[in-house]
Structures are given as C-alpha cells and as structure tokens.
Amino acid sequence: MRGSNTVSAGDERAAQGRGHPLDPLAGDELRRAAHIALSRDGRQSELRVVDVSLYEPDKDEVRAWHPGARVDRQASVVLLDREDGSTIELVISLRDDSIVSERGLDGVQPAMTFGEYDECEQLVRADPGFQEALRQRGVTEFDLVTVEAWGLGTHADERFRDRRLAWTPCWVRDDPDDNPYAHPIDGLFAIVDLNAMEVLYIEDHGVSPIPRTSGRYQPETTGLASRADLRPLEIEQTEGASFTVDGWGVAWQRWRFRIGFTAREGLVLHQISYRDGERDRPIIYRASFAEIVVPYGDPSPGSYRKCAFDIGEYGIGLCANSLELGCDCLGEIRYFNADLCDDRGEPLTVKNAICMHEEDFGLLWKHYDAGTGHAETRRMRRLVVSFIITIGNYDYAFYWYLYLDGTIEAEVKATGVMLTQGLAASGTDYGVAVGPDLVAPHHQHFFCARLDMEVDGAHNSVYEVNAAAEEDESENPYGNAFRPVATRLEREPEAHRRIDPFSGRYWMVVNDRVRNSLGHPAAYKLLPGPTTFPFAREGSDLMRRAAFLTDNVWVTHHDRHERFPAGDYPNQHPGGAGLPEYQRADRSIVDEDIVLWYSFGVLHIARPEDWPVMPVDRIGFMLKPAGFFDRNPALDVPPAPHRCA
Ligand SMILES: [Cu+2]
C-alpha cells in the first residue's frame, strides 16, 4: 500500500549488533549513548546533550564488513557543561556501554540545542525590561512574540565574550495563526547567557512602528477559487517502484548506496557505487551538506549581526520535517524515519524524514535517422533521495539525484519566508520593499557539500581543467583551435579554487590507476552550477568564520575528523577553523584518499514575488562520469512502451 512503506530501518538488527557499520544510530542506541555520557560523573543536571551520532568506523573496517558480522557500534557524543561552560567530546562503545575516549574543550561553543532555543524564548518574553520595551511599541500580548536565539559570531561584547551567548531578533503575530515574519520588532534585542539562562542586557535602538503588511499565506486568506481549473496530476507506478531496500541499503538500477542521517548534517549518502558489468565500482564514500551560511547585508543597528550558520550553530538534521505524501512527495514513495535525541538525551523520531522515489526526467537520449526515418528514444529516470528542513523563517529541501547515465546531482531548494525589517527602521539601501512598510534585506545563502570521493577506490587525484584557445599560431593558422588544459592539484595549500565560466572550468576526480578500454583514466567531473561570492569585507565576522566561502572547490587529504568547512564549532568562533586549517597540514593530494568540498551560493536580492512565502529557488551541482565508462552507459535502457495515438 502506498505511503505505508516506512521503516525504522535496521532497528532490530542494530539492537543485535548485526546491522551495517554505517547504519545511523537507532533510538535505543542514542538513548544509551547519551545516558552513559550524562551519568559518568553524577552531574547530569548541569549537562546538555548537544549531539549524538554514529562514530563511523575506519573505512578499512567498513569495507571488510560482511552481512551477519558483528560490529562494535560506537557513538560520538558532544555534551555541554552549563556550569563551567566547557564542551565534552566522548566516544561511547555500544557493545559494552563503556567510554572509549573523552576530552574536554574550553573556549568553544557547540551548536545551540532546541532546549536552549525554547528556554531562551520563554526567558526573554518574561523579562521585565524586554516587556517594557514591547509595551512602548504597543505590544502587550507577549505570548504572540516570536523570540529567536541567534549566534553572535564575533560580535560579542568584550565583557561577555567567554560566555555562551545568543542575541534575539523578534517578531509579533496578530493572532496565533499569523505569520510573525510580517511584523518585525525592529531595534530590540536581548543578549542572553544560555548557560546561566539569564538576560545579560537589553539592546533598544529606539522605537519604530511595527509593519502592518500581511504575511498570511494560508488558503483561508489567499483564496483558491481562481485556480479551480487545475486538475489532478497523479503519478502511478502500477508495478511498484524499481528500487529495493534492505535496512538502510538501497539498490536502484546500477546504483548501490546506503542512507545515513545525523543531527548535524541530516541526510548522508554512503558508499555510492555504480554496477558496471560484474563490478560495483565505487564513486563516493560519503556525501553530505556540511555547512550552510546565510549572511545579511544590512548594517542597521543589531541587524549587522545577522549571519546564520545553520549546520554548525543549529544542526539541520534536527530541523527535519515529517514529510507528507501527495504534498512534499509525489508518487511511489519510500520513507525513512530519522532517530534523534533531545538535549536531555531522550530519543525522538522524525517520522518520514527522508523521502525516496523515482522520477521521470524527460529525455535521456534520442536520434532520428533522416535516411531511414527511424527514431530511437529513451526516457531519463532518476532516483531522488531528499529531506526538507525548517529553520526559523526559511525552509530548505535537499535532494540527491542518481541518473541512469551515471550522473549524480545535488540540489537545494530554498523556500519559506524571507527575514524582514521595518521600512522605517532600515530603509531600502540594503533591502527591497515587499510591502508598504516592510523590507527584506539583501542576503546570500551559501552551501558547502563534503564529498569523500573514492572513484574506483581510495587513490584519487584532482585535475582542474580550463579550456583555452591555442596560442601557438603555427598550430592555429585559422584561429579556431582550442583545447582543455588539465592541471593536477598537487598539495593542499594550492587546492582551493574558484569557478571560471570563461574557461569552462571544471574539476576531474581521477583514479590514474584504472583505465577504460580507450586508455582514459577513470574519472568523475565536478560541474559547478551558478553561484555567488561573499560581499563581506576581508576580516569581517563572516570572512573570518567562513573563510571557505572565498573559493568554490577545496581538496583535502581524507581525515575522518575533518568534517566541517567552518570547523566543528563555528558558534562564536574567532575564525580560521575548518578548511583553511585543514589545508595548513600541507598534505599531498595526488593518488591519495581525498575529500572534495564544493561551496556555492545564491545571491538573494528579494523580489516582491518572494513575499509572503517564496517560490523555490534552486541551486546545485553535478558529478558526471568522464572516462569512467567506455561509452554511453545508458545504451541498454529499454525503450518506453509506445503510447502514441
Ligand atoms: Cu533568501
């Protein structure tokens, strides 16, 4: 039956320690790991659980695994000690419920927890100084005020820099069903110590009118009648879907991969391979979105701090939606639940967090032979694995697509409600009016994908390819000659590169040890899509903390502990962590186990049409086989049954 195809995949096998070593932690494992960590020194009440996720075994161990083999499942746990402000990283063995390793870190701030976020909102709403400032703005129903907890970056007041801080942009609803982002309360912010859970001070930059523009988008207010001629469009697969699922393992056409999920990154794809004859040929060992940064360009009081690190400061897995058939996903869907835990270590399940289905994607290939009048046509199909998050005002949908011809694509769809400010408070120099009294400030959305590559195995190199005109005139007498020039990236410090549409620049991840029948080395090419570059000044908060935004493509030598482009703890970080730091190791990246990082973004100058809820904006990139196969690998796709009238 449709839609009933949901599993807490592998729960039972995980409980027996017989699951695959990369299966995400199940609810019971999360709870055990959290509680072992919390109860280790009897100070449970002072601790918050920030993150519990699978501590992934070494690649050799994973590759050596066979079905039925026993696995020592380990969990990585991050705790926050509210009393002394330290962060504790632990690795817990779930085989014997023991602590494998433990280290304390001072001077870092892990991601905010939902518990903190909610407590902060209650605290600020109840604060007498904040309430007085609201009254001055004509707001008396404090329950209708939305108070968000945002990271302060490097903008913390000198006096409080070593505390765990949040600042609180706020909005007000007209009634509980109203869209709060239509009614920003400008110039009023609380600065909160999240460990003490106390308001340190209230920042009030002066009263300005709260915008009255409506942000309602529900059908009761927008009306649906004028689209009554939109008739049903159903997707039917009368014989079911073409993929098979075993626990978290998926097989579809030639593709094999495993699904994972973490609180911080959300969906992770492991061990993506393509079956070529008798061989399952590996392509990517692990793929995920590892950071999102959304900087705003408005310098008005308080707002200059708007710069969210959605993965490092919050965690997008924790923001996953429960998806609904017919709305978020259409067709023959397979859902997967995501098991997570709250900051007390209690497990919670996001039902139907991951959606998998097939899509018809138009033409795959075609040729009409004018001589014979015969046409051969094949239709493209893709497998879609996705999840959708809501983080404050924005919603992001993340898609991984696998195509019949060996192409892998990642796409992000940005939607939801834009952040707003009052026209009176901020003007339109750094924003676009979306209502008579309402402005959406200019901003950018940056994403960084971490692609742990293994094209035909662990020995890969990366070549940058630029097409160029032949400059040697004797070789180019007619002026038409051009060719691609490939340059191998040798060591890490040189391996941070920008797109260049003028030279058609792309990057090849190559296994020089494997050749196709034509002698080409096995390779996948990274094709960049549209992007944007940061406008923040060098040395600014954004550029210090997210230095990875300066370039699109970064290559590092694999290290299982190097997972985040802005570092493990970008919250309040002074800067320099992540990719720039990883590359300082100056490792060779030639014929090595390498990680490819691709960073890209959207410039969002608001359109009035983006209000009150924006139609999706799409952005992404592709990886295409280039010499990986001998010829078009999709020649054998069968023709679709003819249905011509
Ligand atoms: Cu935007």
* Per-residue pLDDT tens digits for 600-640: 999 999 999 999 999 999 999 999 999 999 999 999 999 98
Q: Residue 10 C-alpha to ligand 1 middle, in angstroms?
A: 37
Q: Which residue has the higher pLDDT, 70 or 197?
A: 197
CA of 534 to the centre of ligand 1 (A): 14
114-222 has the same fold as 2-105:
yes
Q: What is the pLDDT of residues 100-113, one digit of tens each?
A: 999 999 999 999 99
The residue-averaged pLDDT of 169-179 equals 97
Task: Count Cβ atoms within 10 A of the Cβ of residue 428 and give its class: 0-12 exposed, 13-18 middle, 19 or more buried.
Answer: exposed
Closest alpha carbon to 363 in 348, 381, 345 = 381
Longest Cα–Cα distance of the chain, Å, equals: 84
Number of alpha carbons in the 13 Å side-chain half-sphere of residue 111: 31
Q: Which helix (DSSP H) or strand (DSSP E) does residue 220 occupy?
A: helix 219-222
Chain-wide mean pLDDT for the chain? 94
Q: Which DSSP helix (H) or strand (E) runs through 192? A: strand 188-193
Evaluate whether 522 touches 516 at the Cβ level (below 8 Å): yes
At 369-424, the pLDDT tens digits run: 999 999 999 999 999 999 999 999 999 999 999 999 999 999 999 999 999 999 99
Determine the straight-line distance between the first and last CA of the chain, rounded to whole angstroms: 32
Residue 423: in which H helix or E strand, if any? Answer: helix 423-426
Structure confidence at residue 17 (pLDDT): 55
What pLDDT shows up at residue 597? 98
Determine what percent of the chain is predicted with pLDDT higher than 70.
97
Indicate the class that CATH gives domain 2-105: alpha beta
| Ligand 1 centroid, distance to 432 Cα (angstroms) | 12
Per-residue pLDDT reduced to its tens digit, 309-356? 999 999 999 999 999 888 888 889 999 999 999 999 999 999 999 999
Token pair of 245 as six digits: 């699922």
pLDDT tens track for 441-484? 999 999 999 999 999 999 999 999 999 999 999 999 999 999 99
Q: How far apart are CA 507 and CA 146, in angstroms?
A: 45
Q: Could you tell me which of 512, 402, 451 has the C-alpha nearest to residue 284? A: 451
Sorted by where each begins, the domain ranges of the chain are 2-105, 114-222, 243-625
pLDDT at 387: 98
pLDDT tens-digit profile of 285-312? Answer: 999 999 999 999 999 988 899 999 999 9
pLDDT confidence bin for 18, thresholds 50/70/90: low
The C-alpha atoms of residue 523 and residue 515 are separated, in whole angstroms, by 9
Q: Over 80: is that where the pLDDT of 116 sits?
A: yes
Q: Using the mean position of ligand 1's atoms as its centre, give its distance from the Cα of residue 601 in Å.
A: 10
Per the DSSP assignment, residues forming a β-bridge with 294 are 308
Asked if pLDDT for residue 7 goes beyond 50, the answer is: no
Whether residue 234 is predicted with pLDDT greater than 80 in this model: the reply is: yes
Q: Facing residues of 358 across strands? A: 383
CA–centroid distance, 31 to ligand 1, in Å, is: 36
Strand partners, 281: 274
pLDDT in the model for residue 643: 64
Q: Give residue 388 CA to ligand 1 midpoint distance, Å.
A: 16
Token representation of residue 574: 């002074």
529 C-alpha to center of ligand 1: Å? 18
- SS3 at position 445: strand
Predicted confidence at residue 222, as pLDDT, reads 84
How many angstroms does the Cα of residue 296 sit away from the middle of ligand 1?
9
Residues with Cβ–ion distance below 5 A, ligand 1 = 604
- For the entire predicted model, the pTM comes to 0.96
Ligand 1 geometric centre to CA of 405 (Å): 33
Per-residue pLDDT at 225 exceeds 80: no
Q: Ligand 1 centre and the CA of 395: distance in Å?
A: 10
Q: How far is the CA of 295 from the centre of ligand 1 (A)?
A: 10
**Nearby residues of 386 by Cβ (< 8 Å), 6 or more positions away:** 267, 329, 354, 355, 356, 397, 398, 399, 400
Domain 114-222: give its CATH architecture: Roll (3.10)
Cα(70) to centroid(ligand 1), Å: 46
CATH node for 243-625: 2.70.98.20
Residues serving a catalytic function are 310, 394
Confidence of residue 523 (pLDDT cuts 50, 70, 90): very high
- Between the CA of 445 and the centroid of ligand 1 the distance, in Å, is 6
pLDDT, tens digit (0-9, with 9 covering 90-100), for 121-149: 999 999 999 999 999 999 999 999 999 99
Would the pLDDT of 2 be above 50? Answer: no
- Looking at residue 644, its pLDDT comes to 55
